Chains A and B, each alone.
Chain A
Amino acid sequence: MKRWTPKAIATEAKLLLIGIPVLLWTLLPVYHLFLFAISERDSATSGRLWPKDPTLQNFAIVFKQQHFYLDHFWLQMWNSLLIAVSVGAITLFIATSAAFAISRLKVAGGRWVMNLALFTYFIPAAFLAVPMYKTMGLYGLLNSQWALILAMVTIASPYCIWVLKQASDKLPWELDEAARIDGATPLQLFRLVYLPLMLPSLVAVGTYSLLLAWNEYLYAFLLLSNDRSVTLAVALGNFLAADDSPWELLMATGLIYALPPAAIYYAFKRYMVSGLTAGAVKS
């Protein structure tokens, strides 16, 4: 243990002087959300730091769908889940095959494909949304959940391909040579050598695309409109339609909606952070 000299105490104090405002700044909106979710309608705005009678009644109303904003809560939750899992699975398939073909099979024009993907990655999402909406209309996919799934796959896969390519470029080339000499087919190399070695990166990009789809608001609200096909994100946005919305129910629903991605994020944080930063720090 180190000694508490005046200088050491001054250093700690300075660090705390940064740490405390950072903590308050970070938690304020989240705590406000939580406070509302466990407060009764009238006591929520009292300005107390902890409600007089904390209640789970808001959650009960949400789960029993006892408000017309929440008529399809479970169905919308299911839609969010279904769409997120589909996007995760399809993106994983597309990105892994592409990264394997570019990095390990050295497919002709692979560099070109990588550049197309990077270009897509750098189109601001709200800009692509306008032509995407019109095109989905031409394809006859508007209001179908496939429109949202395919749009999110389009947005998620470039980054996934790039991360997977970076990771697979680091695998030793000798492995491929050994497999080829032993007479392995490309698919055997893919299944028996490539996939097991790439597992941590696959977890990272799978989680990334799943969360991206679960969290998406703009594309979901443009491409889906039927109350029975929208995701929970769109349902939350619909609360804004009226001034006298039941905010305590909105906050309770919002909390339920935010918990799964936060839990997944923290569970896979190790993979996510190393995957993200490795790409960004590379110079």
Chain B
Amino acid sequence: MHAQGLYDPTNEHDACGVGFIAHIKGKKSHSIVEQGLLILKNLDHRGAVGADKLMGDGAGILIQIPDQYYREEMAKQGVMLPPPGEYGVGMVFLPKENASRIACEQEIERAVLAEGQVVLGWRDVPVDLDMPMSPTVRAKEPVIRQIFIGRGPDIMVTDALERKLYVIRKSSGHAIQALNLLHGKEFFVPSMSARTVVYKGLLLADQVGVYYKDLQDPRCVSALALVHQRFSTNTFPEWPLAHPYRLIAHNGEINTVKGNFNWMRAREGVMKSAVLGDDLKKLFPLIYEGQSDTACFDNALELLVMAGYPVAQAMMMMIPEAWENHTLMDDNRRAFYEYHAAMMEPWDGPAAMAFTDGRHIGGTLDRNGLRPARYIVTDDDLVVMASESGVLPIPESKIIKKWRLQPGKMFLIDLDAGRIIDDKELKDTYANAKPYKQWIDSVRIKLDELEKEPEEPKSSLPLLDRQQVFGYTQEDIKFLMAPMAASGEEAVGSMGNDSPLAVMSNKNKPLYNYFKQLFAQVTNPPIDPIREAMVMSLVSFIGPRPNLLDTNNINPPMRLEVSQPVLDYADMAKLRNISKHTGGKFKAYELNICYPVAWGKEGIEARLASLCAKAVDAVKSGHNILVVSDRKFDADQVAIPALLATSAIHLHLVSKGLRTSTGLVVETGSARETHHFALLAGYGAEAVHPYLAMDTLVELAKGLPGDLSAEKAIYNFQKAIGKGLMKVMSKMGISTYMSYCGAQIFEAIGLNKALVDKYFKGTASNVEGIGVFEIAEEALRLHKLAFSNDPLLANALDAGGEYAFRVRGEDHMWTPDAIAKLQHSTRSNNFNTYKEYAQIINDQSKRHMTLRGLFEFKLDPSKAIPIDEVEPAKEIVKRFATGAMSLGSISTEAHATLAIAMNRIGGKSNTGEGGEDENRYRQELKGIPIKKGESLASVIGKDRVEVDLPLQAGDSLRSKIKQVASGRFGVTAEYLTSADQIQIKMAQGAKPGEGGQLPGHKVSEYIAKLRFSVPGVGLISPPPHHDIYSIEDLAQLIHDLKNANPKASISVKLVSEVGVGTVAAGVAKAKADHVVIAGHDGGTGASPLSSIKHAGSPWELGLAETQQTLVLNRLRSRIRVQTDGQIKTGRDVVIGALLGADEFGFATAPLVVEGCIMMRKCHLNTCPVGVATQDPVLRAKFQGKPEHVVNYFFFVAEEVRQIMAQLGIRTFNELIGRSDLLDKSKAITHWKAKGLDFTKIFYQPEVPASEPRFQVEEQDHGLEKALDHKLIAQAKAALEKGEKVSFISPVKNLNRTVGTMLSGEVAKKYGHEGLPDDTIHIQLQGTAGQSAGAFLAHGVTLDLVGEGNDYVGKGLSGGRIIVRPNTEFRGWAVDNIIIGNTVLYGAISGEAFFNGVAGERFAVRNSGAITVVEGTGDHGCEYMTGGTVVVLGATGRNFAAGMSGGIAYVYDPDGDFEKKCNMAMVALEPVLSSADQEAKVDRAIWHATTRDGEGQTDEAILKGLIERHFKYTGSTRARNLLDDWANARGKFVKVFPTEYKRALGELNAAKQSTEKVAA
């Protein structure tokens, strides 16, 4: 599908199921092919179907060439194939149109001849034309033929033939693209190899083997089969996008692909290959623009392999382990990675890659292990690897090993050698192949190790003038720089962003402000740069990159390394004089980006052009570090914005193939906050020297409290920026600066296309805006002001007004008058005053604030209708919801007021993250309504309330929307069953891609109760949902939640950014019933200021893109769309509806109605009006009333009706998607805003009029297939009468989310307390699908004999889970995996015993469950806030990261656990004997295994749990430990979070003092 409106195919994502089967000894058989196809079928649920059930997203299989079969088939045509290895097979998709097809075939043949090879013949690939197929798929179905190519006389070995085939494929492809045929795009070569062949297409998983008749033939044999099932965000039928590619199949996403693409392109000019020789040139362009991430990866990998790298080594170069901070890594291996790091930047992002060159097959995982991959080895030499376990029915007795791919690890089967090579052996081989360590030592220069140089002289201009030149404001100093200088951290703020976009601002804004950071949501996860710092790296190489294809490493060049990219004065001085230190190997050249003011704004274009030309000259004349500098500005010289100059030069050098021949360093006065550095990096800077920020810090240090030296201030600033950069990178899921550099992870808002295409190519910019001359104009205006005699600027910087309102500062939508009018109107129920308020917000004819402010309605007076014909307000208000504000971010009173009000009007309030007091809904759900005379205090308890609210009969305190955020706080089965809607918060407008933290002092007794945590212990919400790393994971969570509460609609909250529409389409395909598109400007209780300001885009863009993409995909009809973000008036609502929203979220406005006056101090807990605070003294000042909120929503609805009457529209549904009723306001004369163009926002997709524009049908969740229906039926006696039941059921990987629907039934009837222990005992036999036992309720036991997959016991709500191996299985539990990743995520209570090893992130965010496991992967017990974990075997790295509560006991016989434990928040202690503990340890800090239970000794807890583990699972390890207990105890380590220890002490002290008072 071509780009149209806001839809752009480059935003497409996919994720998938991947798997392979191989015979280790290389024995070929047809059964391998059959089993491959079976794996595909059993991964079916990981794919998706679109609007049309017969249309999948594509699937395929890669096998070895079935020589005998082809030989016999070709013989029928009279073609005798040469011996195996001497011919290749090209699988070719050809256009249906005859002439085009022939043209394509001829080009291939021509290429074969040109390369000196022989065309043996063509074969029509037999396909099943009768197979039912979607008409759209059929329409795109290509003609599929195979070409057989024989070796030419000069080709002696298969590898050489393989390279020739590669050249033939590439060069014929280029030739065909060059023909520019209408049907040329249908041409595609899935494979062309002497070893492998790919059968794939836009098929459903089970169709591959049917469609391709070849695959059914018993002669079709192979020793390996690599399969892939795709889940794409779109529904457009594109055959080539199916996997596998020629060498790989991929599950995940390459986040850095834009940068990788640019860097590959940049290398084209300088690469040399001894192996490929002159053929290399024929391969360019290596990667076409607009290809998928996997295709790009495949292209790059293929080049490396063809150039002579072994496929495994090539994979190590492209997806290196996180070596930078890996303290346990072997020196040689680290040297190997460091050596190659300069040659290629990592391809970063979640990735489970299966790869094969036909002789080897293997898999590898990204550095953070963000995708699952399990494998088994059988005693008859089969290896099966797949995204999940249980994809093939292999008898347990035949399996000898069950394991998983681990983060950054690889495993390889060498079919020729007939053996498995594990990660260590494999990597040692390559790491030790060359003396990398020695090489590194001799070629690496570290900048900070060089001798000091005298610093550059400082400018003689006054600091104030220099700051003003770059638009510094008082707020830059006060809010951004001072906190960084003082504490080394970015400052935090609160509430949303209600100031205008840069392009509309009357102030002069830095160019940086026109760019918005992109972030990961759904299709890939953000990373936690703090708790998972071990994968992050800021290392940067400055200077030319070594030849990527230099496989022989003859005399490797020198490389210059910096540990982080923010250079101080000394660094810069060294860099300028680098030639001296490197014997002339490095030579720096300064590009002065200033130009005479007298040239005016017109001067900029030519100046940029000459800078680019100068850069080329400099590189060609042997300079290899370019310093882009604006240091030389003065009263007569103005600086081109450094970002513009940097990007222009970077991209120019890329296009000239020179970029990898030089380093690019930026020396600028403009960079002062994280966002600036991120942008410079994203557009090519390898390092930045912010000299003016540093000058400012030197000055600032004098005035800051404490003895802060200038050096320390600069150091802190560098540290803060470094942390900030990691945050910005990680929100996109990128972990290294090297791959972030040049990756362009931004979208522009307010820059015109000509400018972007010329200087920021590849960046999305959808509303046009200013051009290069206006950028110059803006810089000139600042320059002029700085040197003018403006009295306000004589002694001070501009006030700013971005972060706090100032009358003379930046504009804000929330003005003092707007707030006053809104409060007065709703308190006195005065619609006229409301209209005054709405006028302030809506009328942006003078104050340009938002995109929608510049829209106008196309009114036709002849169509206007009387207002009484318009749908009544009481219907419209049902579409309104309040935002997700947790009780924690706002006070109990403020939270309850919203709920009461929304329930009165029939709208919805949202719990926000953090659970809900069950007292607010239990009675209601039992059918007992609230009676007159009751009050908030009478329902939830007097001690919980500071300002009581009287209730009316029939009121409800229940939040109808229950949020499920990454922290999963308080998400119990009961909580879920109480919802009308369950909202998965993927991102939050104020800080998309980031987590949050509730500091311990805010965790009151009540909040701790709701969140099932310990009062006083801090709570961390991780940036990602650890059970959503891709779109199919989201589909799984939706399925889980739907099981927990089949009546609730499932909503997914996204934040607007470019590409959100495609994500929303994916969400719709993942079966969400509802999607929220939040604007970037929404409120927050606390967020880094740079995120509030610079991440995400306005909802107008995201919503319009969503509507267009959903309609294009014919998915709009089955999903409701809600939008939110600074929605304040009826006009906002109408515009939202016209752009495609069914529903609307409001947060700040209702808070203002409740009394909020935009203090922006939520994060300080000092809200003086009792709204956003937990301080009882301040809460007592709360004055909000539900009536006021009700008045507000009716006012908004009334305003909506007035507009509808003017538009002549009677019902709200008729408004939705009618963007044709919008126009750009004609009155825009603002010098910047007049360039905006909203055509793309108002675009109406080309689909038939019959295609619905709003939600009209329900999703099919396929719940009827759930195993739970049977379980519920069998447990009837227990559910109805509480009788004990026990039964056995088989289970398969296709049975996902087992036990959850049953638990929903239990919770509905019996609440969180559930049934008595073990009332329902279910023994499952087999391999359970994902999410076994999710939200398992108390009283239910799942005893799984076999194994589990990912997410076992997710949200465990009191039940018991036992997983033990089948007795037939012969492996040791401690050496074999039994459950997948992210087990017990967000578990609340209950217990789980696993007789085997778990995958990564075991017990992540556990808040109360008890568990025993025989080993874990990386990140065990991450973010844990409560509960008890016993690990009887080895753990992975980063254990206990962010762990604030609970206890883990780890068996550590070798004493190496400490190295694998993240010690930032925990201490390690021995497990004392009970006697010792009683004698020596204060009882106050004894751990209890139950909430509010008595503390026990560690020995008692540990031994008791191991005994029970043995009892339930028969664990051998448990038996052995118990048998030798006296000895074994001493080998356990207790992981004790320091915060938990402190809180236990404090709680105890508090308890004692109250007891004293009572006595």
Q: Do A and B bind each other?
A: no
Report B's interface with A, CB cutoff 8 A: none
Report A's interface with B, CB cutoff 8 A: none
